[in-house]
Every structure is written in structure tokens, then in C-alpha cells.
Amino acid sequence: MSSSAASTPARLGGAAAVKNDFLSGLTVALALVPEAVAFAFVAGVEPLVGLYAAFMVGLITAVMGGRPGMISGATGALAVVMVALVADHGVEYLFITVVLMGFLQLIAGWLKLGKFIRMVPHPVMLGFVNGLAIVIFLAQLNQFGTAGEPGWLAGTALAGSIIDVAWLQGSAMTSLLLLVAATMAIIYLLPRLTKAVPSSLAAIVAVSLAVIYLGIDTRVVGDVASIKGSLPSFSVPKVPYNFETLTIIFPYALVLAAIGLIESLLTLRLIDEVTETRGRGNRECRAQGLANIATGFFGGMGGCAMIGQSMININSGGRGRLSGITAALCLLAFILFASPLIEQIPVAALIGVMFVVVIGTFEWSSFRIIGKIPRSDALVIVLVSAVTVATDLAVAVVVGVIVSALVFAWEHAKHIRIESREDHKGSTVYAVTGPLFFGSVTSFSQAFNPAQDNDDVVIDFARSRVADHSGLEAIDALADRYVAAGKTLHLVHLSDECRRLLKRAGGMVEVNVIEDPKYFVAEDSLG
């Protein structure tokens, strides 16, 4: 076979990837419009401020970020923090706050703080995902109501909450529900016929054409706000540059930077697990920082990773940087040239897309495992979900990590259990149970006695997990002790990433593709 013929599959794969990235990016751009507008309203700024943020942050993070396929833009978690600043001091103070927010995120990236997201416990991740799915669902409810009218919970303690909606009546509600259902049906059923076009994009186009040509009376994007605008222009925020201004903006910038990084890094980790690839957390921190600095100088409200849009992108086949770049550039094209067309898209179609995202994002297995896992883990899942819905993501994650740390300290007291035996081959076998990290390395190292062990030694990590660089160094140091004692050491049931990161003991790891666990290590060299 010639080299040309051999390369054909690769070219086809590349062409398919480009097509998937482009079409998924277009789908994301369509769904970004109403969200960016809605978050701008939440923050108390003009719609274009939210759209510019979605374009600038989305483009820069797509090009420079640590997670291809992840979508960034204006988010509700940031908007709810911004609203008080805008109300008290004006939009120019928001712009300079976003710039400072970006610098703080850059510092976090330079200090390599992104690695610590790898150490967020799994129950916290489950709670974060479930809570965010609920938040995305609840955010759509306003579209089923009439703005400016008292909701169905008026006069109760829940009056004015996100679920206090003045529900549409009669044909308006019927039309909306039918269009939402039609959108979801197309998304679920079309892949059974063809996967040539992302089902979400096909659903948006099909429902839009049906509304236009059948004359269905329903709310469209143009009813929410006009998206027509010009290119964003550079402008230095018009604020006094003195210590008083710093005292005003720094607390907001610090909170915004923390929320932005936590949401971005947790979304990165979620996509890592979905795609079984690895993003670079520290690089993402720096990209988010640069994006927000630029956005502040170009009249945007700032942003971070968007889990809903990221999942739309991943589910539509977007995996590369081209998907995020396409989404950002298409959004800009909508603002400059295609606003009349985009404003005709029914809001119902976008609601349907987001409902599908909610169904796909929520970890339904949580209900199945809740009675089988330790009560402490179940408590963390429920607690993080509830706090995410009630407050915001940053608070929820901090609460979840603190509770998990307290539970871990209580149950394990930073100890690791190691049992030894002699197998039928005359080898000394050590079975390690519990996490190997900076708090347990001392106990781990003291549990071995190379001088008294048999000539052949096996250390089994099937019931353990190496969490950080300290754990890797402890294994390397132990390997040196056994080599110095003239013993043969075998390390089994370590993850592939551990094997690659071990400097001296890497060659002692025995690989079993079927049985070896898969997990990531918090290590600077990998982001």
C-alpha cells in the first residue's frame, strides 16, 4: 500500500473532526445568544456587554486555554456578583473590576494553583454537576412566564424567587410546550437516522422554519433583546485610578476571580471525565485571566467556562479548539451581519436544547448509588447540590471540600493501611489501602522493611490511589531503598499516569490494561 493510500483514513478523520467542530460551534453560538443577553440583564448592563464578553472570552480561551472543546462566556454565577457593583458604582467600575479579576486569575495560573482541582472529592463533583443541572433547568422557567406580573408564589416566602413565575396561559403556553417537545424529540431521534449534522443544530433550524412558515405565535430571540451591534472597541475604563477605587473593586474582583476559576476548572475536569482526556488546569487559569483582561478593555462583562454550552459542544461532536473559535466568530457574525435572522429563532427551540443538556448533565446514577455509598458521601452530594442551587458554585464547592476534608480527617486521620503476606511463589506481597498523598506518605514509608523482606517484593495499589506529587516521591524513594537492598520490586495496579510520572520506579510498574485503574494526579508538570 502506498503512503498516500495509507494516509487517506487520517485525512478523512481530520476532515470529519473539522466538520464536527464547525457545526457544533455554530450550534453553541445560537444557544449563546439568549444566555449572554439574559446574563447581561442579571448584571444590570446592556445586552451587547454580555455578547461582547461571550465573544472575547470565548475566542481567547478557545485559542489559548487548557481544555479544547470547552466553551467560555458570560455566566450567571458571575452576573449575580456583578449586579451590586453596577448598581452602586456604574458599568465603568465593572470593566476595571473585570481587568483586575483577569490579573488575579493570571497570578493563580503562574502559581500553578490549577492542579488542586484534581483533589476535589468525587462526591463534590457529583453534587456540583447535579446542582448546576438544576440551576440550568430553573433558569429556563422564566421563559414560560410573563415578565413584570406577579408570580404564582406571590405573598409567600418564595415570592420573587427563580420559581416564582407568572405562567403563560392558553395557546401561548400550549405552543411553547409543543415547540420545546418538538425540539427535544428531534435532538433525540435524528441521530438514529443520521449523524452528519449535530441534532441540536438541526432541531433549532427545523423548529425556526416551522414557526416562520406556519406563522406560530411564540416568543423569539428578538423579543428578548436586539443583538445588532458593531465591533467591540478598545477603551480604558473611565474611573479614578486611586486607592479608593482599588478598595471598591478589589473585593468584587477577588470573588469573581475565584468563582470564575472554580467553575472553569470543575467544568474542565468534568469534560476530562466525559472524553477520557486530560486538560491543563494551570494553562486554563492563565487563558481565563488574559481573556478577562482583554474583555474589560473592550467593554465586556467578563466570563468563565460555561458547563451548559460546553456540554452542548461535546454532545454535538465538538472536541477541538476549532469548535470554540467557530462559536465565538459565529457569535460576532450574528452581532454584525445576521441579527435579523437570529432574532427570529424561537426561544422554545433554545429551551429545548438546554433541557436536553440538563438531562444529559444530571448524574441520574446518584439516585441508584445514594443508598450504597457511605452516608458522609451521600451528605456531601446532597449538600453541594443544595448550596449550588441556593447560593452559587464557589460557595458550594468550598463547603463541599471542607465537609469532605473534615469527614476524611475524622475517618482516616491521615493514615494509610498496609498489610503484608507471603504468596505461594515466596514473594513478599504488600496490599496498600487508602489514599497516598502528602498527609499519609510518612506512614506509608515506615510500613516497609526492605532488609527483612524476601528477594522478590510486590506492592499492590488496587485499593489505593496516588493523589499528588508527594505520593509519587514516596514511591520513588521506596523503590530506591529496595534497589539498594538488592531486592526485586514489582508495583502493580497503578494508573498509567502514575507510571509515566514516576522518575525512578516507573520501570518497576507492571501494566495490566484491564485491571489497572484510571485516575489523574495533581502534578505541576501536567497542569
Please provide the DSSP assignment of 373-387 as one string: S-HHHHHHHHHHHHH
Q: Is the dihedral of CA 226, 232, 238, 244 positive or negative?
A: positive
pLDDT at position 100 = 97
Which are the contacts of 105, defined by CB distance < 8 A and separation ≥ 6? 257, 260, 261, 285, 286, 288, 289, 292
User: Which has the closest alpha carbon to 527: 353, 350, 277, 352?
Assistant: 277
Bridge partners (DSSP) listed for residue 432: 418
- Measured CA to CA, the distance from residue 126 to residue 132 in angstroms comes to 10
C-alpha cell at 104: 488575579
Angle subtended by helix axes 122-139 and 243-275, to nearest 10:
110
- Of 183, 189, 246, 242, give the one whose Cα is nearest residue 209: 183
Report the alpha-carbon distance of residue 27 to residue 53 in Å, rounded: 18
User: How many angstroms separate the CA atoms of 428 and 359, rounded?
Assistant: 50
Cβ atoms of residues 275 and 319 within 8 Å: yes
Measured distance CA(225)–CA(219) in Å, rounded: 11
Per-residue pLDDT for the chain (527 aa), expressed as one digit of tens each? 444 444 433 344 578 888 889 998 998 888 788 778 767 876 878 888 989 999 999 999 999 998 999 999 988 778 878 888 998 899 999 999 999 999 999 999 999 887 777 667 778 878 877 887 887 788 788 888 887 777 787 778 777 777 778 888 888 899 999 999 999 999 899 888 887 777 888 888 899 999 999 999 898 888 877 788 888 999 999 999 999 999 999 999 988 998 888 888 888 988 888 888 888 888 999 999 999 999 999 999 999 998 878 988 888 888 899 999 999 999 999 889 888 888 888 889 888 887 887 887 788 888 888 888 888 888 888 888 888 788 766 677 778 878 887 776 666 545 688 999 998 888 999 999 988 887 788 888 889 999 999 999 999 999 898 888 888 999 999 999 999 999 999 999 998 888 888 888 888 888 777 778 887 787 777 66
- Quickly count: other Cβ atoms within 10 Å of residue 394's Cβ: 22
- Say which residues have a Cβ less than 8 Å from residue 140's Cβ, sequence separation at least 6: 351, 354, 355
Phi, psi angles (nearest 5°) of residue 177: -65, -40
Strands 456-466 and 488-492 turn out to be parallel
State which amino acid sits at residue 115.
K
pLDDT value, residue 34: 72
Picking from 218, 184, 176, the residue whose alpha carbon sits closest to that of residue 203 is 184
Structural class in CATH, domain 417-526? alpha beta
Residue where the block lists cell 484534581: 118
pLDDT at 404: 80
Query: Given its phi and psi angles, is residue 160 left (phi above 0), alpha (psi -120 to 50 degrees) or beta?
Result: left
Cell numbers at 39, concatenated: 446574563
H runs (alpha helix) in 370-425:
375-390, 393-412
Q: Which of 150, 505, 475, 110 is nearest to 288 (CA)?
A: 110
Cell of 134: 438544576
| SS3 annotation, 429-460 | EEEEEEEECCCCHHHHHHCCCCCCCCCEEEEE
What helix, strand, coil percent values describe the chain, rounded to 5? Answer: 65, 10, 30
**Cα–Cα distance, 305 to 296 (Å, whole number):** 17
* 119 grid coordinates: 483533589
- Provide the residue count of the chain: 527
Distances (CA, A) of 281 to 126, 327, 398, 402: 19, 22, 18, 21
Per the confidence metrics, is the pTM higher than 0.75?
no
- Read off the amino acid at residue 251: P
| Residue 385 and residue 363 in contact, taking contact as beta carbons nearer than 8 Å | no
Residue type, 511: V
- C-alpha to C-alpha distance for 371 and 191, rounded to whole angstroms: 35
Distances (CA, A) of 342 to 1, 145, 309: 49, 22, 18
Residue 248: enclosing H or E segment and its boundaries? helix 243-275
SS3 call for 462: strand
Which candidate, 485, 488, 506, places its Cα nearest to that of 497? 506
Give pLDDT, residue 331: 92
Do residues 239 and 91 lie in contact, with contact meaning Cβ atoms separated by under 8 Å? no
406 closest CA partner among 121, 197, 155: 121
Residue pair 287/304 in contact (Cβ under 8 Å)? The answer is: no
- Residue ranges per domain, the chain? 9-150+160-361, 373-411, 417-526
Question: Please, which residues have CB within 8 angstroms of residue 111's CB and are 6 or more apart in sequence?
Answer: none
Amino acid occupying residue 493: H
**CA–CA gap between residue 79 and residue 50 (Å, rounded):** 10
